[in-house]
A and B are shown apart, each in its own frame.
Chain A
Amino acid sequence: MISSQTVTAASDVAASYRGSDDDARRRLGLAGYLACFKGIVWREILRYLHQRERFLSALVRPLIWLFIFAAGFRQTLGISIIPPYETYVLYEEFIAPGLIAMILLFNAMQSSLSMVYDRETGTMRTLLVSPFPRSFLLLSKLLGGVSVALIQAYAFMLVAWFWGISPPPITEVKLFTFYDAPSWAGSAIPTMTDPIVTSLFSVPALIQPFAGYITVIPAIILAGLMLGSLALFISSVIKQLENFAGVMNFVIFPMFFASSALYPLWRIREASPMLFEICRLNPFTYATELIRFALYGQVDTVSLALVIGCTIVFLAAAVFAYNPSKGLIARRGGPGGSA
Chain B
Amino acid sequence: MTTMASTGPADTDRTPALVVSNVSHSFGERKVLDRVSLTVEQGAFVVLLGLNGAGKSTLFSLVTRLYDNVSGEITIRGFDVRRRPSQALQRLGVVFQSRTLDIDLTLMQNLKYHAALHGFSGRAATARGTQALELVGLPDRANEKVRALSGGQVRRVEIARSMMHHPDLLLLDEATVGLDLGSRESVMKIVRDLVAKERIGVLWATHLMDEVLRTDQVVILHKGVVLYNGPVPQLLTLTGMSSVREAFRAVTGTQTTIEEAA
Given A19-B165, A131-B88, output 5 extra A-B contacts at Cβ < 8 Å. Answer: A4-B189, A8-B193, A14-B131, A121-B99, A132-B119
Question: What's the minimum C-beta distance from B119 to chain A, rounded to whole angstroms?
Answer: 3
Contact A7 B64 (CB under 8 A): no
Q: Flag whether A27 is at the interface (Cβ < 8 A).
A: yes
Q: Is the CB of A46 within 8 A of B105?
A: yes
Q: Are A334 and B194 in contact (CB under 8 A)?
A: no
Cα(A4)–Cα(B120), bound, Å: 31
Question: Is B104 touching A129 in the complex (CB atoms < 8 A)?
Answer: no
Name the CB-closest residue of A to B68: A325
Structural contact, B134 and A10, CB atoms closer than 8 A: yes
Please tell me which one of the listed residues B57, B104, B185 contacts residue A47 in the complex, with CB atoms under 8 A apart: B104
Across the interface, which residues of A come within 8 angstroms of B85, CB to CB? 131
With A14-B194, A332-B27 given, is the CB distance from A125 to B137 under 8 Å? no
- Whether A297 sits at the interface, judged by CB under 8 Å, is no
Category for how many chain A residues contact B = 35 or more
The verdict on A28 contacting B117 (CB below 8 Å), with A14-B135, A14-B194, A122-B100 known, is no
For residue A40, CB closer than 8 A to chain B, the reply is: yes
Q: Is B199 among interface residues, defined by CB-CB distance under 8 A?
A: yes
* Cβ of A300 to closest chain B Cβ, rounded Å: 36
Complex partner residue of A27 from B92, B97, B118, B186, CB under 8 angstroms: B118
29 A-B pairs in the complex with CB atoms less than 8 angstroms apart: A2-B136, A2-B137, A7-B137, A10-B137, A11-B193, A11-B197, A17-B200, A27-B120, A27-B165, A34-B121, A35-B125, A39-B112, A39-B113, A39-B117, A40-B116, A42-B116, A126-B96, A126-B117, A130-B89, A131-B87, A131-B118, A132-B86, A132-B119, A137-B117, A325-B82, A334-B61, A335-B66, A337-B96, A339-B61
- Bound: A198/B166 CA distance, A: 56
8 Å CB contacts to B: which residues of A19-38?
A: 19, 21, 23-24, 26-29, 31-36, 38
A206-240 contacts to B, CB under 8 A, are none
Interface residues in A41-72 by Cβ distance below 8 A to B read: 42-43, 46-47, 50-51
Out of A6, A42, A126, A334, name the residue touching B67 (CB < 8 Å). A334
Query: Which residue of B116, B166, B194 is within 8 Å of A19 (Cβ)?
Result: B166
Residues from chain B with a CB closer than 8 A to the CB of A123 are 100, 102
Contacts A46-B109, A131-B85; is A125 near B96 (CB within 8 Å)?
yes
Let me know if B104 and A51 touch, CB within 8 A.
Answer: yes
Contact between A339 and B166 (Cβ–Cβ < 8 Å)?
no
Partner of A129, one of B65, B82, B194: B65
**CB pair B189 A7 closer than 8 Å:** yes
- Give the CA-CA distance A39 to B108 in the complex, in Å: 13
Q: Which of A13, A26, A27, A122 contacts B135 (CB 8 A)?
A: A13
- Chain B count of residues within 8 A CB distance of the other chain: 70
Within the complex, which residue of A7, A39, A329, A336 is in contact with B190, where a contact is CB–CB below 8 Å? A7
- A36–B116 CB distance below 8 A: yes
A13 cross-chain contacts in B, Cβ below 8 A? 131, 134-135
Chain A, Cβ-Cβ closest to B198 = A17
A19-B165, A24-B90 known; A10+B119 contact, CB < 8 A: no
A10 to B82 CA separation, bound complex (whole angstroms): 35
CB pair A131 B90 closer than 8 Å: yes
Residue on B nearest A120 in the bound complex, by CB: B98
**Which chain B residues have a beta carbon within 8 Å of chain A's beta carbons?**
11, 27-28, 32, 57-58, 61, 64-68, 70, 82, 85-92, 94, 96-100, 102, 104-105, 109, 112-122, 125, 131, 134-138, 152, 156, 163, 165-168, 180, 182-183, 185-186, 189-190, 193-194, 197-200
Closest to B88 in A: A131
- Chain A residues in 8 Å Cβ range of B136: 2, 10
Contact indicator B189/A335 (Cβ below 8 Å):
no
How far apart sit A258 and B41, CA to CA, in the bound complex (Å)?
60
When C-beta atoms are compared, the residue in chain B nearest to A40 turns out to be: B116
* Inter-subunit contact B117/A1 (CB<8 Å): no
B contact residues around A78 at 8 Å (CB): none
Taking a contact as CB atoms closer than 8 A, the residue among B86, B96, B105 that contacts A28 in the complex is B86
Nearest chain B residue, comparing its CB with the CB of A31:
B119
Give min CB distance, A33 to chain B, whole Å.
Answer: 7
Inter-subunit contact B94/A325 (CB<8 Å): no
Q: Which chain B positions have C-beta within 8 A of A126?
A: 96, 100, 114, 117
Which listed residue (B100, B105, B166) contacts A50, Cβ 8 A? B105
Q: Find the B residue at minimum CB distance from A128.
A: B66
Contact A27 B190 (CB under 8 A): no
CA distance A40 to B90 in the complex (A): 17
Chain A residues near B116 (CB-CB < 8 A): 35-36, 38-40, 42-43
- Measured CA separation A330–B114 after assembly (Å): 24
Is there an interface contact between B104 and A131, defined as CB atoms closer than 8 Å? no
Please tell me if A133 contacts chain B, counting CB pairs below 8 Å.
Answer: yes
Tell me, rounded to whole Å, the shortest Cβ–Cβ distance linking B81 to chain A.
10
* In the complex, chain A residues whose CB is within 8 Å of the CB of B183: 1
Which B residue's beta carbon lies closest to that of A121? B98
Q: What residues of chain A lie closer than 8 Å to B90, measured between beta carbons?
A: 24, 27-28, 131
